[in-house]
Structure 1
Amino acid sequence: MNKLTDAIKHLIIINVIVFIAPQLLKLDFTNMLALHFPENENFGIWQYVTHMFMHGSFAHILFNMYGLWAFGTPLEQMWGRNKFLFFYFSAGLGAGIIYTLVNYYQFNSIYEQIYNSGLSASDIQNILTTGQYNDTIIKLPAETMNKFYSLYHTPAVGASGAIYGVLVAFGIFFKDAKLALIFFPVPIAAKYFIPVMILGDLFFGMTKYSIGNVAHFAHIGGALIGFIIAWYWKKNQFKIH
């Protein structure tokens, strides 16, 4: 069984505290700490860090912290605490930034279509505020309008982007390690297992078949940044003391 390393231990403790404390105190820190759309009044630049410590449910934090422990421990043992923390936060920040960029592109694409329908900027802002619109003027499908509203209002929470970075790095350095999922309990080498997971996120992120409210492009963003850093480090043996 993997020993609980220093950085991972403290990351898990902070995540658990941030998850439990608001429930005990009967407070909601979502508007302050979750990652909001940049045009939303609740957006703050610090949220690119703080959203990594928030989780929407017990299952959400359980799977993320398990992934952090299972795949992050060998990396911290190999890299050391400082290097692992640099990697973890880089992947998490990259995930948040790429997620925002994708959302911004999707939002502006729909915004332009609505604006071309003859509505003013204040009319569109009223739609975003109330969720109400005149479907005789705006000919877009209801699904598109719901997405427009959701992109603006729905914040992102969770360490999943950083965990995906950790997962990819694990696959690069321990490519022959056997992994399995609960719903597919057949061990598969990491070098095959991890790309399949990422391709699944890419598929669900680009189609309408996503199951639940999952930030697939945050996963992909974390995986991409994690791959770049881990690949570079493996090639150049970069060290942080």
Structure 2
Amino acid sequence: MFPLYDILPSRKKPYVTVALILINIVVFVYQLTLGDRELLVFMYKYGLVPARYTVDRVREALGFSLFPFISHMFLHGGFWHILGNMWFLWIFGDNTEDEMGHFGYALFYLSAGVFAALVQFAFFLHSTTPMIGASGAVSGVMGAYFVLFPYSRIVTLFPFFFFLTLVEIPAFYYLLIWFFIQVMNSLVGTYGVAWWAHIGGFVYGMLWGYILRMKRIHRYRY
């Protein structure tokens, strides 16, 4: 079930969404210029390593810094990693930015990434593996979209036996299925993906979306 685009046009240019995508691409291209050892050092320096804050010897080795709570969301582990995150951000980001405004959306995106990282952090306090990727923040965007635009439709590439077909799925059901998959994977303990960051980011986005939706209803009523 791979999303291609949504049918909901945006009213304004999604400048922040485009800027975020470009920043992620620039950082990824820079990563490609690094040698294996340099890249490893780079990931440990700017990726979020929970043990850096909970294990003395790791903190002494890496140094104390809160910057990785922001910088981790601009690092990626490979081509498919960044492609997937940026694709989902492009699909769900423009309308969410439309609703929140450019500044509000930028603040929301960064805070969603931090909140998602904190949720993942809480479940893996002593992990020495760097957490990287925009998926927590992007999950926040998807959570907000889920609440703000439930009746939009997501044009999706859907496998049907040996064929691929295009199906329009209501955003509410598409994102609900996506969220259910994240929860199931987190419970199974599938390794290598920050499932709890996805869950935390999505719930955070839902809360922001709910607040904005209530403001919208209040504005229309009065």
TM-score interval, normalised by the smaller of the two chains:
0.7 to 0.9
Question: Please, what TM-score do these two structures have when normalized by structure 1?
Answer: 0.72
Give the unaligned 5+ runs of structure 1: 108-151
User: Which runs of 5 or more residues in structure 2 are unaligned?
Assistant: 1-8, 160-165
Deviation, 1:9, is: 1.7
Equivalent residue letter for 1:196: I
Q: Does 1:158 align with 2:179?
A: no
Are 1:186 and 2:207 an aligned pair? Answer: no
Q: Which residue of 1 aligns with 2:186?
A: 205
Q: 174, 177, 201: which is aligned to 1:222?
A: 201
Aligned to 1:18: 27
- Pick the structure with greater CA Rg: 1
Aligned to 1:235: 214
How many angstroms does 1:34 deviate by?
A: 0.6
Residues 31 and 183 of structure 1, relative CA distance in 2, 3 Å threshold: farther
1:4 offset after TM fit, Å? 5.5
RMSD of aligned C-alpha atoms? 2.1
Aligned to 1:90: 111
Counterpart pick for 1:73 among 78, 88, 94: 94
**Aligned letter for 2:203?**
L
Identical counterparts, % of pairs: 31
Partner of 2:81: 60
- Could you give the per-residue CA deviations for residues 108-131 of structure 1, whole angstroms, max 9, x where no partner exists? xxxxxxxxxxxxxxxxxxxxxxxx
Deviation for aligned residue 1:24 = 1.8
Offset of residue 25 of structure 1:
4.3
* Distance in 2 (alpha carbons) for counterparts of 1:74 and 1:171: 11
Q: Find the aligned partners of 1:183 and 1:48 in 2 and give their Cα distance.
A: 36
8 Å contact 1:36–1:153 — kept in the other structure?
Answer: yes
Partner-residue secondary structure (3-state), 1:153:
coil
Q: Give the secondary structure class of the aligned counterpart of 1:186.
A: strand
Q: Which residue of 1 aligns with 2:147?
A: 172
What CA deviation, in whole Å up to 9, does each residue of 1:142-191 have, x standing for no partner? xxxxxxxxxx2211111101111111111212111222554555332111
1:44 is displaced (CA, Å) by: 3.1
CA distance in structure 2 between the aligned counterparts of 1:47 and 1:197, rounded to whole angstroms: 27
**In structure 1, what residue type is equivalent to 2:137?**
A
Number of equivalences? 190
Conservation of the 8 A alpha-carbon contact between 1:4 and 1:69: no
- 2:46 aligns with 33
Q: Check the 8 A contact 2:85/2:135 in 1, yes or no.
A: yes
